[in-house]
Amino acid sequence: MLLFIVWSVSAQQCDQPLKAARFDCHPEPSVTSEKCLARKCCWQPQMRSMIQLFKNTSSNSAGINVPSCYYPRDFPTYQVKTNEPTAFGQRLTIIKQQSTYMPNEILSLTVDLIYETAQRFRLRIYDSTKKRFEVPLSVPVIQTKVNVTDYDVSISQKPFAILVKRKSTGITLFDSSVSPLIYADQFIRFSSYLSSPFLYGLGEHRQPLLINVTNEWRKLTFWTRDTPPVQNNNLYGVHAFHINLEKKNNTPNNFHGQFFLNSNAMDIDLQPLPAITYTTVGGIIDLYLFTGPTAQDVIQQYWDVIGKPTMPPYWSLGFHLCRYAYNSIDNLRAVIKRMHDAQFPYDVQWTDIDAMSSHLDFTYDKTTFNGLPDLVRALQAEGKHYVNIIDPGISSTQPSGTYLPYDDGLKRAIFMTKFNSTQPIIGKVWPGLTAFPDFTNENSIEWWTNVAATFHDIIPFDGIWIDMNEPSNFVDGSHVGCTNNSLDNPPFVPHVLGNTLYAFTVCPSAQQALSSHYNLHNMYGYFEARATNLALKTIRHKRPFVLSRSSFAGSGQFTAHWTGDNNSTFEDMYFSIPAIISFNIFGIPNTGADICGFGLDTTEELCTRWMQLGAFYPFMRNHNAGKDQDPAVFSWTAQQIMKQALLMRYSFIPFWYTLHHQAAMASKTLVQPLHFEFPNDDNTIGIDQQFLIGRAILVSPNLVSNTTVVHAYIPQDVWYEFPSGSQVKDVGIFTDLDAPLEKINVHIRGGFIIPMQIPGDNLMMGRGNPFTLLVAQSISGNATGNLFWDDGDSLDSIETKTYNYFEFSCSLNTLTINAIVANYKDSPMRLELVRILGVSKPVMSVNVNGKEHNGFFYNIPDQILVVHSLDMDMLVQSIQKIEWTTAH
C-alpha cells in the first residue's frame, strides 16, 4: 500500500485527489520535505509497496514520476489590474502581491493578447518596466486585430489565467489556470491543459514520434549540446514546438500547435492530466497558438512565423558519401574508384576533419591529401560535387600573420568575448585552443565570406558542412573556467546533460553582439547557418547547400540537417524515422541520418537494410567513423541490392525535387507520418516505423535483424505495390508484408501521379534523360500530380519564373499534361513512358494528342497500361493528352 505524509500547509489546500493534477513546485533535483515546505508547497511523497517495486509497475493510475512537492490551491499568483483594448487585441497589466520562492521575481507584468490571424493567436507576457531579452528571430509583426477567428479567448481576473477554446468544438486549446505563473528574472514557469496526452514534436530529442503521456510525467530539456543521440538527453537543436491531437466523440480529430518563442535554456514537463509546463531561465513568455485544424495546416501556420525552408540545389538530392578518417588521398581515391567500377550512382563526395592541416579550418593537409584540389576539380568535371567540413572553433595559437581566419577575425573583433572584457573567450576544440566567432555580429558575415572565398580559390567546394556548432567545447566553459555570476550559475538549471549550462560548451556569460551567450547559446547554429548560406551565395553565385548539426526554429531557411553521431544498430536505424519526420514538422525538411551508422562497425545486413531506407530520406548520406562502409565494399549480392535502392531513389528525383519546391513555396512537408494524412484512423496514431513521402508514397522498411516479414499498416485507400504495380487487396488493417533482404516495401497511393526520370550516373549527367509518369488511379479512375523543373542551381529561377511547371490529371481514360509555366528551355523535357495503374478493363487503343499510338501494352493480371515510345516534348504545346479506350 502507499503511504502519504502531509507535513504542513493547509490540508484543505493540498487536497488533490487527482495525482495527475499535481504541478511540480520543486523541479530541481534532490527535493526534500524541508525544501518543499520552505516554498510553502504541499509535500506528499510517493512510496511504492514492495510488490509494486518488484513488478516495476506504476504506483497509481496517474502513472510514474508523480511529484512529491506540488502547489497548493492558494499559492500566490497574479491578478488582473487593468484590461484595455488595443489595435491588435487586448493589453492587460497583472500584478502579484508577494514574492514566492525564486529570487528577483517581477511583480508587475504586461500581457498582450494578439489576434494575429483567424488561425494564429499570440500571447506575450513581459516586464512592465524593464526591457528584457527577446529572441532575435524575424517574425511577423501584427498591428491590427483580425475580427473573425477560429478560437475564443477569455480571461480570468483573479487569479489571472487565459483560456482559449476552439469555436467549432468547444475543445480547450490553452488554459493557464491549472498552475500558478512564476515570473522571476531567471526563472519563468507557466502551464496549460493539453487537449489530449498525444503530442508530436518538441525536439531535438531521441524519442518515438508520438509523445504519449497517458501514464507518466516526462521532462524534455532544451539546451543545444554536442552528444551522441541517446534518449532522455538534450541534443543538438532546440525546437519548442508541438502539435497536439484533439479527440472528441462524434467529431473529426483536429490538431493544434504551440510554439514557445524563447531561446534560453528550458525544461518542458508533460503530465497525464494531460498538461504541459514550460520552465525557462530567461527572456519573456512569447507563445503562439496555431489552430490548424489539420496537422499540415498547423505546420503551415508555424512556418509562416519561423520562415519557409530553403530550396536546395538539385544535385544535393543525390547520394552523398563521406567518412571520418579517410586519412589519405590514396584511400579517398580508392573509394571513388571502387564506386565507379561497381557502377553506383552517386553525386557528392565529402571529407571530414582528417583532410585538414592540423584540424585547422579552411586548410587541407598538403602531405596526406596532396592533390585534393585537382581531385575535386576532376569530380566536378564528371558532374559530381564536393562538400567540406568547417567547425566554428578557430585556432588562436598559430603564429601571428600565418592564419587568416584568426588574424582577420581578431582585427574585425568578431569573436565572442569573456564577460566584461574585449578579449576573446578561449576554449578547446579539435585544433587545440580556439576562439569562437560571434555570428550575431554582422561584421562576421563579411569575415566568414572572405576566409571561405580564399579557401574556395584553392579548393572549389560546392557546399559547406558546419559541425560542432552547439557550440562544442572540449573544456567546460573556457580554458580558465567560468565566472561565479548568475549567468554561469543561475538559481535554476534545467536538467541539462552535465548539470551546468557550461558543460562541454562556452561560458553562458560570454558576450555576443546581440546579448550574452546565456540568451543566445541555443541559436548559435542558426546564426552560423545563416552566415554560411550568405557566404556561399556570394562566393558561388548559385543556390547554396549547407548542412548543420545544430539548429533552432527557422534554421530550415538556410540549411539542411542530419541527426548526428548515431551508431550502427538496428535501433538507431529505427530512431532515424521519427527524427526525420519531426524535423519536417520543425521546418527543416531536408534532413537525413548517417546511413549504416556513424559509430561502431556496421554489418552487411544492417547496411543493406539502411541503404534501402536511406534511399527515402530527403537528405541521403552514408557517413561513418569505423571501417569502410561505402556500398562498393560489400559482397556482390549486397551491392546489387543497394544499387537497386539507389536507382529507385534516382528515378524518383523529379518527384522529390517537386516536393522541395512545394515545401519552399507552399509550406508542405516532404515526409510525414500516416496519422497526419489519415487523422480519423486511430490505428495510425504514433506509427513511426512507416512513413509517407509527400502524400503519395508509403515506405515500410524492415527494421529488425534476421527477419523477412514487416508488420505494417496499410490505411484504407487504394494502394499499389511498387514497382510491380499490382493493387493491394487488404487495406485498413495491419498485415505482414514479405520483406526478404533484397526488398523494401513501397506502395503508391491511388489518386496520385508521380513524375520520374530514367537515372544517370549522377544527377547532373542524367538531367537530360527522358521522363516517365507513374499514374496511380483512385477507385474512381482519377489522379493528379505536378512537376517543377529548373536548372537546379540558380538563385533566382523561382523569382524570375525561369522554370517549367506542369500539372498532370487523369480522368475518364484521359491523361492531361498541362504546361502552366514553360520558361526553362535549356534541358529537354521529353516524356518517354507512362504507366497507368488500376485500369480495370482491357485497353483496345491509345491516342496521343488525337493521333493513334501503337506503342502500348496492357497487363491483364495486374491491370496496368503501359504507353511507351512516346518521345513527347512536354513543352511543345501547353496542353497535351493521352487517351485510351477500353473494352465494354
- Which positions are catalytic? 467, 470
> Residue 432: exposed, middle, or buried by beta-carbon count in 10 A (0-12, 13-18, 19+)?
middle
Comparing CA positions, the residue from 221, 231, 224 lying closest to residue 269 is: 221
Strand residue runs (E) in 261-299: 266-271, 275-280, 285-290
Tally of CB atoms within 10 A around 60? 14
Distances in whole angstroms, Cα of residue 688 to Cα of each of 255, 309, 582, 611: 18, 23, 10, 18
Q: Quickly list DSSP for 415-459.
A: B-B-TT-SSBPEEEETTEEEE-B-TTSTHHHHHHHHHHHHHHTTS
d(CA 260, CA 525): 19
d(CA 625, CA 708): 29
Query: How wide is the angle at C-alpha 297 spanned by C-alphas 295 and 300, nearest 5°?
Result: 115
Contacts of 886 (CB under 8 A, 6+ apart): 813, 839, 840, 841, 842, 843, 844
Comparing CA positions, the residue from 4, 3, 68, 5 lying closest to residue 31 is: 68
Comparing CA positions, the residue from 92, 125, 114, 468 lying closest to residue 280 is: 125
Tally of CB atoms within 10 A around 341? 9
d(CA 496, CA 477): 15
Tally of CB atoms within 10 A around 632? 22
Reading the block at residue 356, the C-alpha cell is: 585538414
Cβ(427)–Cβ(478) below 8 Å: yes
Distances in whole angstroms, Cα of residue 659 to Cα of each of 294, 346, 597: 19, 21, 27
For residue 471, say if its preceding peptide bond is cis, omega within 30 degrees of 0: yes
Cβ(657)–Cβ(771) below 8 Å: no
Comparing CA positions, the residue from 366, 383, 370 lying closest to residue 330 is: 370
Reading the block at residue 695, the C-alpha cell is: 502524400
Cβ(524)–Cβ(508) below 8 Å: no
Residues in the chain, total: 888
